[in-house]
Chains A and B, each alone.
Chain A
Amino acid sequence: MRKVNSQDNVFEVGPREESRSLWGTYLPYVKIAFGFIGLLRNGLAIYTIASTGGDQLDGLPFLSPVLWLDIVLVFDLVSNYSMIKFLSYPVAILGCRMWVICLWLSIGYCFLGYGTRQYQVLNIPDYCQTLGVSWQTDPRRANYVRMQVIIFSSATAGFGVALFSYLKIYLPSRRRWNVPTEQEAATRFVAPIAPSEPAPETWIQRRIKQFGVWKRKVLGRLPRYPAGEQRELTLLRPFTIPYVGPFRGRTVLFRAPAFKKPELHLSEHLTTIVQIFVLFPFIAGFLMAVILNSHAYLLLGQKGCYGSYVSGRFGYLDLQLVNFRVKLSTWLGLNT
């Protein structure tokens, strides 16, 4: 519990309210950061595919099956700001294309042998030559392919559910099919209540209404002090514009955010629901990767013969010969 001193009066702010407010304040910035990381991830993925070449896709590394989800997030951000809103359509088209690329990659990893040429065999002892083992492919690869498919399927299912729920909740079109009979309509009819004389809307009230989602926060934070006193309301300290005006019979100094906090519209709804769907597959992937890369040296056996395989125990940071692009792909979450 923290005591906040507002001019002469002291009121208390609970830790729960404080942390929730902090999340609400900084979440847009975190999303912008993730948007940039997502764009970097997509750019790196396209560069990796292009540089690998059409006839060498058997040497293609694992690329995230949810690259298109990054573009959905970028669409969400772009469609929120009027200055760059015109970019939302090209971004939506790019997102669709990335989904197709991710689908193609998933099919390729499963059935077309993408990423199977991993190692060059230098020497096979006589005993191991007739076992029919493909030594150029890591035996752990099959687990990652399964995880790739699970993540892609979960994300796609999540997208379908999110889109369906959005249409079901927000679109009133279904009402069209529920046409009541004249008798039913008569029983449903409720005479409208005559509106009372509305009080003139103050400038501050209009301002609060303009900020939509922030409205409740503003009202919740208005201190209940005697009329006429001047109080300060801070929503987003570094990026606020101060306004002075009447509100509920008092004069208040109201600090409004410089931009409007986005509503939970279609793109945000989609991003959020899909992220919930992929959260648990990613946690499962994390646990799987921890187990499969548990030690620095992995001497894995196949039918009685052994080979030494690369371990990503420290995200390849400990391996000096690994090129920078592989390390960057790993740490950006592209290599999943």
Chain B
Amino acid sequence: MVTDSLLDVCHFVANAAQYFVSIVPITTAAYLPSWVGYLVQAAQALIESWSLVLHLHT
């Protein structure tokens, strides 16, 4: 289940208490890569590969 509402989360946990495992992040490994990192890397790749286009064009 995915949601943007905290109220939905509370309802879900209350109704599925016997199936809900309580976990808490303890290491930085819990923070998986976000779209931001990939976007930064993709932008860098695009800009750097542009130099080849420039070189072929001049």
Contact = CB atoms under 8 A, between A and B. Distances in A.
Nearest to B4: A296
A299 B47 contact: no
Contacts of B51: 27, 31, 264, 268, 272
Interface residues of A, number: 90
Contacts of B14: none
Contacts of B2: 294-295, 297-299
Contact of A306 (B1, B28, B30): B1
B24 A125 contact: no
Contacts of B42: 279, 282-283, 285-286
A66 interface: yes
Q: Is the interface of B mostly helix, strand, loop or mixed?
A: helix
B24 A322 contact: no
Contacts of A119: 23-26, 30
Contact of A293 (B8, B30, B34): B34
Nearest to A304: B19
A28 B17 CA distance: 58
Interface in A280-315: 282-283, 285-286, 288-290, 292-299, 301, 304-310, 312-313, 315
B46 A331 contact: no
B35 A289 contact: yes
B34 A316 contact: yes
A166 interface: no
Contacts of A308: 9, 13, 23
Interface stretch (A78-86, A135-143, A178-186, A233-241): A135-143
A305 B17 CA distance: 10
Contacts of A141: 32
A325 B58 contact: no
A323 B25 CA distance: 12
Contacts of B58: 24, 213, 216-217
A295 B37 CA distance: 18
Contacts of A272: 48-49, 51-52
Contact of B49 (A56, A217, A276, A301): A276
Contact of B32 (A283, A312, A325, A334): A312
Nearest to A271: B48
B33 A335 contact: yes
Contacts of B21: 121, 123-125, 128, 135, 305-307
Contacts of B3: 295-297, 299
Interface of B: 1-6, 8-9, 12-13, 16-42, 44-52, 54-55, 57-58
